[in-house]
Structure 1
């Protein structure tokens, strides 16, 4: 168990169907024990913070993790339902030794996940995840449990949503006035159903709110950032100046302009990046985007005197490149934006506040601001697979990819990769001419379906 392939952790923590391995109460308890041991949680140390989204399985896993931590002598603070970035910020501000977030992000309610933030509000390294995996799978901690007064205690964080909102308002938005602005908001029946509306209203905005009635089973159900057409239609119905849609744990955000046209994360990066560049506040005149991001972002930024650094897909890899190149802005097409001046992880609310700030200071509508970037036509297809066989081990698929790459030349790109959180393979095609996309996609997907399709 010394290689990354043996880790329980994927690109964003441990994830799976709730109450089925590995997303079981038993494993969550063992994870709590491992976290307490690794971060040296004791009665005289700072606590471990635990937060979750609105899934029905959340309390089950929350209590299992808490039991694991306290059984090893660590104290626990339960924050309840809060966005993932809120847990990250509170981890640092409390401070806590570390935190565990129980969420499966944009997945449907049947799934859940476990991800860990260190005390500095950053996600764990691969090496730490391997160590935690080994602790979870072994019996090395058996017999080390304290007794009597050494057993940890559990406490509740009072009014955690308000605490996060106050932190955001005080540190990141004290000079932002949204009076007179109408904002359509879709919270995906998820973790931001209270926090985002409360912060925006505190800044003077009028909110047209939808999908803010979580029942444990409706998180991400035909709503939120994975269904952008919903917020686009709601903007028009409400006559809003702008719309924003979170995913289930609100670490990402997708926007719609006042005409009902959707903006993805690449366009948000372009708007925020150019604003920072013009003001001399973009570190090293560069930002990080993933290999999946649109080539139009590179053209937009290069023409303005900036540059785009590419990373692998996943916010942790975006963040790694931000650290390596000492940059303060990075993100993904999915709307996962990292603003290192404020938080070391993606935060949908902070991203929204920064975009709204640009709208306010420039006096421009979002439909005008988005004109800074001309997007290449793209086609993204998610295909369910029965197994994640290495792509390079399938000669027919490799040959198809090489053929498509030759056809596109320098005028487009093709990427084929497995999802790090779901049993799917993702194909991204990008070309100057939209008519090329579907035929080229079929050329790649035909052998994929034959070999590993469900």
Structure 2
């Protein structure tokens, strides 16, 4: 069936506009509760959120939906997205829900579902929940209505778990670390974990007010942390997004390392230790060609998926791989967590620094990245530029001109009438010419 509400990462939209309304949250809670309410045990849902003002509204509506169909609700408050996956599994819940629009501004919000195993739901499960939205809710009898309980130590449980992923016996003593929490879900979690492991912490964007999440800070604006690293003479900067499932690393000079470089470092280290399952890293079609060629030089493989960390995780589970992620900073390590985790990825990087005694700048440039350019070209509603012969011919001509020096990735946006034209090439001048020629054909459909 066609998916009307669920996208690549749950249900998302502008707060108080369809589908991100209190009414829809209520209905989603009822539908998801009905879907997961199987068996005779007491049914539970764990709900976490980031720091957006609209999170209160959606949290209350979801709670009403779940309890009305007989599910108990555990409210864990502001926690990182990976904490919800972890807590749903550790608390033996039927499902977990994270209320967040990740790196988007405060006006947006979203609802992400996790199954009892802590992993995000499959397309099939989301479609089944969506189908239930059209029917009448299966309301519980008065004696079977669920109850809501606030769990005050949910954040602490996740923090203790996160620390166990850092190499046993090592500490962060002597390291000064800047951590930008994007005024989001990790505003207490990340600084406290780093401090408890012995670091001197310089916290940034840790004063959420409901409206400043991701505003000029976080992983989409790493310049804030980069400036602070240089100003404070820090050894490392960590820049998280609003729900802390992605990270950028900043070295001591203020240079930014993206998810590709972080994954390359972890893959190399895990492969050397015999830990990298099947010698494979899973990443999306957006990851740099330099990463692929670096791994090949190490005798390792890069398996590419569609854009979206959920597709990375699906490929990891299907193939038995334990490391994957996205250039944007989602790093998934299924030895530890079920989804992208910015803090735990940063701890892996810090572990490498402590174990090797090397500076961040020596570890954050694992491979030479190919020049990469992304252009977004808007087209008229109802048009189909990628099906046009002229556009196909321009793409074919561009690939022929690059002749193995790079690659092209041309795709439609999943949320807007945009064609995303991405290319990588050893020759940046040639790349610019090729992308310009393709863009000129696509723009004719504007």
TM score, norm. by length of structure 1: 0.93
The answer on 1:51 being equivalent to 2:48 is yes
Deviation for aligned residue 1:178: 0.4
**Residue 441 of structure 1: CA displacement?**
2.6
Q: Deviations over 1:158-215 (max 9, x none)?
A: 1322221122224655533101101111111111111011100000001111111111
Cα offset, 1:46, TM superposition: 3.8
**CA–CA distance in 2 between the matches of 1:172 and 1:179?**
13
Counterpart residue number, 1:178: 172
- How far apart, CA to CA, are the structure 2 residues paired with 1:192 and 1:347? 11
Task: Tell me if structure 1 keeps the 8 A contact 2:96–2:116.
Answer: yes
Q: What SS does the aligned partner of 1:341 have?
A: coil
What is the aligned-residue RMSD (CA, Å)?
Answer: 1.9
- Of 64, 67, 71 in structure 2, the residue corresponding to residue 67 of structure 1 is 64
Corresponding residue of 1:104: 101
Q: Which moved more, 1:399-408 or 1:91-100?
A: 399-408
- Counterpart selection for 1:246 from 235, 240, 247: 240
> Is contact 1:43–1:73 with CA below 8 Å preserved after alignment?
no
Partner of 1:348: 342
Equivalent residue runs for 1:252-331 within 5 Å: 252-331=246-325
Distance 1:391 1:173 in 2: 51
> How far 1:424 sits from its partner (Å)?
4.8
Deviation (angstroms), 1:329: 0.6
Aligned residue number for residue 135 of structure 2: 139
Instruction: Give the secondary structure class of the aligned counterpart of 1:376.
Output: coil
Count of aligned residue pairs for this structure pair: 446
Cα distance between partner residues in 2 of 1:320 and 1:418: 22
**What SS class does the counterpart of residue 226 from structure 1 fall into?**
coil
**TM-superposition CA deviations, 1:256-296 (whole Å, max 9, x none):** 11111110111011111000111111111111121111111
Superimposed CA distance per residue, residues 311-332 of structure 1 (whole angstroms, 9 cap, x where no aligned partner): 1111111112212221111111
Output the CA distance in 1 between the equivalents of 2:221 and 2:278.
Answer: 35
Shift of 1:140: 3.8
Residues 60-96 of structure 1: per-residue CA shift (max 9 Å, x gap): 0111111111111111111111110011111111121
Aligned partners of 1:83 and 1:251 also within 8 Å = yes
CA contact (8 A) 1:11 1:421 kept: no
Greater shift in the superposed pair: 69-78 or 168-177: 168-177
Contact 1:43 1:152 (C-alpha < 8 Å) held by counterparts: no
- TM superposition shift of 1:399: 3.0
Partner of 1:202: 196
Q: Answer with 379-388 or 56-65: which moved more.
A: 379-388
Mean CA deviation greater in 372-381 or 41-50: 41-50
Tell me if structure 1 keeps the 8 A contact 2:383–2:445: no
Offset at 1:250? 0.6
2:181 alignment partner, one of 178, 187, 204? 187
Task: Please give the alpha-carbon distance, in whole angstroms, between the structure 1 residues aligned to 2:396 and 2:60.
Answer: 50
Q: TM-score, normalised by structure 2?
A: 0.95
